[in-house]
Amino acid sequence: MDSLKDTAIFIDLENVYYGLKKYHMDPDHPEDSHNLFLRLQEYYGKDSIRMIEAYADFEQIELSMMSLQKKRVHVHQVYGNGKEGRDRKNAADIQLCIDAMEVLYQKPEIRRFVIVSADQDMIPLLDRLWVTGKQVELFCLFDESLSKSAQLHKFCDRAYDLFEFLNINQFQNLTQIERRIHDAVIQIYEWYRDPNNKGKSYGSTWIKNDFIRKFHMEEVEANQLFTRMLREKYLIPYEIEIDLKTYYGYKVNLLHPQVQMMIKIAGYKVS
Domains of the chain in sequence order: 7-171 (3.40.50.1010), 176-265 (1.10.10.10)
Whether 96 contacts 12, CB under 8 Å: yes
Who wins on pLDDT, 148 or 156? 156
3-state SS class at 58: coil
Q: How far, in Å, CA of 125 to CA of 170, rounded?
A: 31
Q: How far, in Å, CA of 108 to CA of 185, rounded?
A: 49
Question: Above 60 in pLDDT, residue 88?
Answer: no
pLDDT at 269: 84
Whether 162 contacts 16, CB under 8 Å: yes
Least confident of 71-75, 148-152, 183-187, 191-195: 148-152
Beta strands in 128-172 (DSSP E): 135-140, 158-161
Q: Is 144 exposed, middle or buried (0-12, 13-18, 19+ CB in 10 A)?
A: exposed
CA distances to 24, 102, 124 from 106, in Å:
39, 6, 19
Whether 113 contacts 10, CB under 8 Å: yes
Residues facing 252 on adjacent strands = 235
Question: Above 70 in pLDDT, residue 4?
Answer: yes
Over residues 205-231, mean pLDDT: 95
Q: Write out pLDDT tens, residues 153-176.
A: 778 899 999 999 999 988 888 888
State the DSSP H helix or E strand holding residue 195, giving kind and residue range, or none if neither. Answer: none
Q: What are the two backbone dihedrals, phi and then psi, of residue 261, each rounded to the nearest 5 degrees?
A: -65, -45
Q: How confident is the model at residue 149 (pLDDT cuts 50, 70, 90)?
A: low
Q: What is the pTM of this model?
A: 0.84
**Sign of CA pseudo-dihedral 234, 195, 84, 14:** negative
Q: How far, in Å, CA of 29 to CA of 31, rounded?
A: 5
pLDDT at 60: 87
Q: How far, in Å, CA of 105 to CA of 26, rounded?
A: 33
Q: What share of the chain is helix, strand, coil (3-state, %, to 5)?
A: 45, 20, 35
Q: Which residues contact 173 (CB under 8 A, 6 or more apart)?
A: 143
